[in-house]
């Protein structure tokens, strides 16, 4: 049983993330999405519970995907799930430095765990959660950027503000 962990902040999940999730689920027997409970992040748009819920809704038709939050070190979360693989999506060169650094640091502390990079599909290569938040804050529709179930949740957030 090959289990992969796909970690991230997912504030909110974008179609770029969703693409990586679907492709990972085709490669691995089981994919565990780990939503970082990043209490240090000043003001996330969505609480960790909301992010987990939106991901669960978005992935409900993919039977080998589960979603949960995690605190602390990613490699500990990966070990708890008897996994040895971290999946990350790579967009452009800008991602590479930080992703390589994270992958190497994770291997320093957990040499058994490897990071597998999937190149983001071209149509999603310019997407990011922060871009989605920024557009939404100016009232621009985020249709085509995030899974359908996430659109009303984002609109609700910004209508309240
Ligand atoms: O979606 P993001 O914000 O790019 O994801 C970053 C994430 C969650 C993969 C990273 O911040 C992480 O792994 N955090 C957990 C703490 C940890 O293990 N830090 C050491 C990594 S160098």
CATH number of the structural domain spanning residue 21: 3.40.50.620
Question: Percentage of the chain with pLDDT > 90?
Answer: 90
Lining ligand 1 with CB less than 6 A are 7-9, 36, 73-74, 102, 105-106
Range of the domain at 18: 3-160
- CA 5, CA 10: separation in Å to the nearest integer? 14
Residues labelled as active-site residues:
17, 42, 91, 129
CA of 119 to the centre of ligand 1 (A): 18
CA of 142 to the centre of ligand 1 (A): 25
Place of tokens 């871009």: 131
Residues 75-115: tens digit of each pLDDT: 999 999 999 999 999 998 889 999 999 999 999 999 999 99
What's the pTM value of the predicted model, to 2 decimals?
A: 0.96
Structurally, the chain folds into a number of domains equal to 1
Query: Tokens 């452009």 belong to which residue?
Result: 92
Residue 39 has pLDDT above 70, yes or no: no
pLDDT band at 33 (very low <50, low <70, confident <90, very high): very high
Strand order in the sheet with 3-8: 65-70, 30-36, 3-8, 85-90, 114-119
Span 48-69, mean pLDDT? 98
H runs (alpha helix) in the chain: 15-27, 48-58, 74-80, 93-109, 129-137, 151-160
């Amino acid at each position: 049983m090959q289990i992969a962990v796909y970690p991230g902040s997912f504030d909110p999940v974008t179609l770029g993330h969703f693409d990586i999730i679907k492709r990972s689920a085709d490669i691995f027997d089981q994919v565990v999405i780990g939503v970082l409970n990043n209490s240090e992040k000043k003001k996330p748009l969505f609480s960790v519970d909301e992010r987990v819920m939106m991901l669960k809704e978005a992935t409900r038709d993919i039977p080998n995907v589960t979603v949960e939050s995690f605190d602390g070190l990613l490699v500990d979360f990966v070990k708890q799930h008897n996994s040895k693989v971290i999946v990350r999506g790579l967009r452009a060169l800008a991602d590479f430095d930080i992703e390589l650094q994270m992958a190497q640091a994770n291997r320093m502390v957990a040499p058994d765990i490897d990071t597998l990079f999937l190149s983001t599909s071209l149509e999603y290569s310019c997407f990011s959660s922060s871009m989605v938040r920024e557009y939404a804050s100016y009232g621009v529709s985020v249709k085509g950027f995030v899974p359908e179930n996430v659109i009303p949740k984002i609109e609700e957030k910004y209508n309240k503000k």
